[in-house]
Structure 1
Amino acid sequence: MAMARASSGLQYPERFYAAASYVGLDGSNSPTKALTAKFAKSTALLLYTLYQQATIGPCNIPEPSSWKIVEHSKWASWNQLGNMSSTEAMRLFVKILEEEDPGWYSRASNSFVEAEPVIDVQMNHNSKVGPVVENGNSYPETKTIPTDNGSQVGTQDKDVVVEGFSSVEVYDQWIAPPVSGQRPRARYEHGAAVVQDKLYIYGGNHNGRYLNDLHVLDLRSWTWSRVEAKAEVESTNSSSTPMLSPCAGHSLIPWDSKLLSIGGHTKDPSESIQVKVFDLQTATWSTLKTYGKPPVSRGGQSVTSVGKTLVIFGGQDAKRTLLNDLHILDLETLTWDEIEAAGLPPSPRSDHAAAVHAERYLLIFGGGSHATCYNDLHVLDLQTMEWSRPTQLGEKPTPRAGHAGATVGENWFIVGGGDNKSGVSETVVLNMSTLTWSVVTSVQERIPVASEGLSLVVSSYDGEDVLVSFGGYSGHYHNEVYVLKPSHKSTLQSKLVENSIPDSVSAVHNATNATRDVESEFEAGNEGKIKELVIDNGDFTKPKGDLLTVLKAEKDELETTLSNEKLHTLKLQQELADAEARNSDLSKELQSVRGQLASEQSRCFKLEVEVAELGQKLQTIGTLQKELELLQRQKAVSEQAALSAKQRQGSGGMWGWLAGTPQSPNADDD
């Protein structure tokens, strides 16, 4: 198993002992004066305990008396490391030293440079060692170059000063080049594309606000400038310049002398996905008119350029519904086509990475759902339109979403991303012919290339391919530029690429032959050969020698077959483990959805109870209203009867006179 490597590219044992010699640790039981003079007491104590763990192992000495404060503190600090491996202790020792004393390696004496050849067992190439990157500054390194037989051809000691990117002769290390001009506002989930040695940055998200500005970085002079873009006026009656809708989570694709912005989240999303086109000559944005049935509006999707088509996969729509549909936009006819591919597609996801290999195979890696992140790899054969999930070889990357990818030849570089807990510090590369992963380099977590929502593009500088990263979010927003020169090159012949890819991306089949079947075939096949070799006259001397040779060859063949079967079994076990992990993730997501549904059901039940109570109140109000109307009618009748009675009493008439009704005392005398 390959050891973890320090940020400079040297293996940890060599770099650790160089670091220990630099700080003055000599294996004694107490830190030296040089160590305590260089660092604070807490740092010195931590370096001492890591050194003890790396050189001696777990703490197994008796606990000192508590009144011996210094000795007890050292013992307690060492004891807390538990069973930490020596390699991990070495890694942490070097990491802490580089954090506390950046560039220590360049200032150290050459006396601790390794005398033994340094063999990189993690990558199958000789990478030049470059400066340690600390807060955007780089520091020189020294590299001893070995030969195949272990002898040293020579030592290249070269100080690297970042005066310009062309002066940095370093591979597989992220470096912050000196840039000038006004930098764009810090952001993530923006779009990035390179056209004619110029990096264009468009849109993105800053503090929850969508952006619609366009900036360009000249990759020759490393100078930023803002592009004063305008939007095309759709109505001839309007003289005002319309405002382009801010967006984030979109894809920026170069197309001839134009830029295409596909999809993205906006404040007022449309029903279907929008394709905006920016003309680099007129600096004008316009809406690309397409035909056919476009996909639903979305963001966080992947858009991959394959020949004269764009392949769109997945993402998340405006209602936060995760997608795994597949669409193709023909850039010649500007027609959309929805693809129903065979096989098992990737689960719905967004913020994944996609790449194309040999203009035929679409690769999807990672991404996230509402509850989990993925590290699975899926391949779509664009000729047969069939999904497959091949076996990943090498150091399989950890689950992540929000990462960025770019291809150099047959190598696919993946940078950044996160798993809802922390950012990913390793830059990894996938050889798309062999589907083998390896780690290129690792950065500290606070470096922007370990953040989510960053962009990654490929450009050419002095005849070499370089990776350029911008932006991202890791607790705060970034607007820095980082550059990496990859040493990975395409070394396989084209015919090997054509022949190896179909085999490597094909689905893993079930084992068909058990070990006993192989042994039976071996015995049955040898029976006829033994009869041919044995001579009838009884002279068995020569035939026995030939027989032993054949049997030995067959034995070797059998062992090879058994080894292949074991390897195949391991692959099947890995597939089973991946399937179980995926099932576990889906179960967690299902539980999360069930929890949400239960919450919604409880809310609906409460609403139903409230509606029932309101209905009862309304019914009671109706009854009271009827009673009120009845009382009002009764009152009106009573008042009318009283009024009639009063009128009869006040006017007696003739009948009153005949009856001798007495007149009112106030009546006038005749």
Structure 2
Amino acid sequence: MSPVAENNKWVKVGEKGIGPGPRSSHAMTVAGNKVYCFGGELKPTIPIDNDLYVFDLETQEWSIANATGDAPFPCFGVCMVTIGSTIYVYGGRDASRKYNGLYSYETLTNEWKMLSPPEEGLPGRSYHSMVADDRKVYVFGGVSAKGRLNTLDAYDVVDRKWVQYPSAGEACKGRGAPGLAVVEGKIWVLFGFDGNELDDIHCFDLASGEWTAVETSGEIPEARSVFSAVSCGKHVVIYGGEEEPHELMHMGAGRFSRDVYKLDTETLVWEKVKLVEGTKEEEKPSPRGWCAFAVAVKDGREGLLVHGGNCPTNERLDDMVFFGF
């Protein structure tokens, strides 16, 4: 068993069973006391498999879901979220730039269903970002066959249809791999990549239907993409990411971060999160990006759970770490 999680401390999570192994550009979400992991690559642009890996947060054991139905094909640059007992998986592509549509996976019956093919629903993409509330799955940005996008759409799981929101406008460039969070009725878009690492923030008010370019202060993080971003109360918490791309772009490993920051969405002040006093260097996770992440509850504490990713040596990681809020 791993040590009990503490606030502002990284804990390496013990793992047993058949897990995803080393990979990056994959996705992760939590339903109940289980973590679900899908997609990814071991070598750049070559998807590994379309197995759905399940991690039990209590037994700390991995298994592969005995899934039925119509599953997404093997892909990378994919996203997944949970509403109730249902997981929603959208996007991602294979080596030939074929894109997945929107799928659901019902955790109570272990059944996959295709809800919306890319040729009929939202245009296919990869390296987009996705969040959910209790009714809608929100999708922002990503890289499509026609380039990088700056659109915000949502799939209404009750009405079973896509909803398109107003354009973010020219001030918000099309981008891949931004941070995305929903906080108190607002969608927050943070940073991303448009050929360069971006440092801007934009906010969409779901009630008014208006976009705002957001100016922040405090310990502002460097521009970045492919990082972990989740909401915690009124805060957006981010970890890691690529601050400077490699000259080979996706084929190489750029300069990665290992720091945690939080943004107060009311005061618009950033704070670099200080780890508990006495934290040793070897207790900190490796700098990384392109990892899978989700909010999870471990040992009674809520925090950020991160699996795998790419590191400065361009090797894919297979560890799982937890940061208690």
* Band the TM-score falls in, shorter-chain normalisation: 0.7 to 0.9
1-structure distance, mates of 2:140, 2:292: 18
TM-score by length of 1: 0.43
Q: Which residue of 1 aligns with 2:151?
A: 325
Superposed displacement of residue 374, structure 1: 1.0
Change (3 A) 1:441 1:207: farther
Q: CA deviation at 1:231?
A: 3.3
Q: Is the 8 A contact 1:343 1:386 kept in 2?
A: no
Partner of 1:336: 162
Q: CA deviation at 1:165?
A: 3.4
Unaligned 5+ residue runs, structure 2?
Answer: 246-253
- Of 236, 239, 263, 1:415 maps to 239
The answer to whether the 8 A contact 2:82-2:132 is kept is: no
Distance 1:445 1:318 in 2: 41
Which of residues 65, 68, 74 is equivalent to 1:246?
Answer: 74
| Bigger-Rg structure (1/2) | 1
2:190 alignment partner in structure 1: 365
CA distance in structure 1 between the partners assigned to 2:84 and 2:14 by the alignment = 30
**Which has the larger share of helix?**
1
Quote the offset at 1:245 in angstroms. 1.1
1:304 counterpart = 2:131: yes
Q: Structure 1's 335 and 206: CA in aligned 2 closer, same or farther, altered over 3 A?
A: same
Name 2:60's counterpart in structure 1: 222
Structure 2 partner of 1:427: 260
- Name the CA distance, whole Å, in 2 between partners of 1:338 and 1:314: 13
Deviates most, 201-210 or 223-232: 223-232
- Residue number among 428, 432, 438 corresponding to 2:271 in the alignment: 438
Show the counterpart of 2:10: 174
Report the Cα offset of residue 293 of structure 1. 6.2
Task: Give the unaligned 5+ runs of structure 1.
Answer: 1-162, 233-242, 487-670
Query: 1:475-504 CA deviation, whole Å, 9 max, x = no partner?
Result: 100110101112xxxxxxxxxxxxxxxxxx
TM-score by length of structure 2 reads 0.86
Residues matched between the structures, number: 308
Aligned residue type for 2:63: S
Deviation at 1:453, TM superposition (A): 0.8
For 2:176, the aligned partner's letter is S
Do the aligned partners of 2:150 and 2:168 also contact (CA within 8 Å) in 1?
A: no
Structure whose residues are more often strand by fraction: 2
> In the alignment, what sits opposite 2:322?
483
Q: Does 1:351 align with 2:189?
A: no
CA RMSD of aligned residues (A): 2.5
> Residue 205 in 1 paired to residue 41 in 2?
yes
Residues 416 and 449 of structure 1 are in contact (CA less than 8 Å); yes or no, is this contact kept in structure 2? no
Superposed, 1:420-569 pairs within 5 Å as 420=245, 421-441=254-274, 448=285, 450-474=287-311, 475-486=314-325
Does the CA contact (< 8 Å) of 2:103 and 2:116 recur in 1?
Answer: no
Query: Offset at 1:448?
Result: 4.9
Matched to 1:180, the amino acid is K
Which residue of structure 1 lines up, in the alignment, with residue 92 of structure 2? Answer: 264
Instruction: Considering Cα pairs closer than 8 Å and 6+ residues apart, tell me whether 1 or 2 has the greater RCO.
Output: 2
**Conserved? CA contact 1:290–1:334, under 8 Å:** no
What is the aligned partner in structure 1 of residue 248 from structure 2?
none
Q: Residues 478, 431 of structure 1: CA spacing in aligned structure 2 closer, same or farther, 3 A cutoff?
A: same
Query: What's 2:218 paired with?
Result: 394
The equivalent position to 2:24 in structure 1, one of 174, 184, 188, is 188
Deviation, structure 1 residue 449: 5.2
* Aligned equivalents of 1:457, 1:332: Cα separation in 2: 24
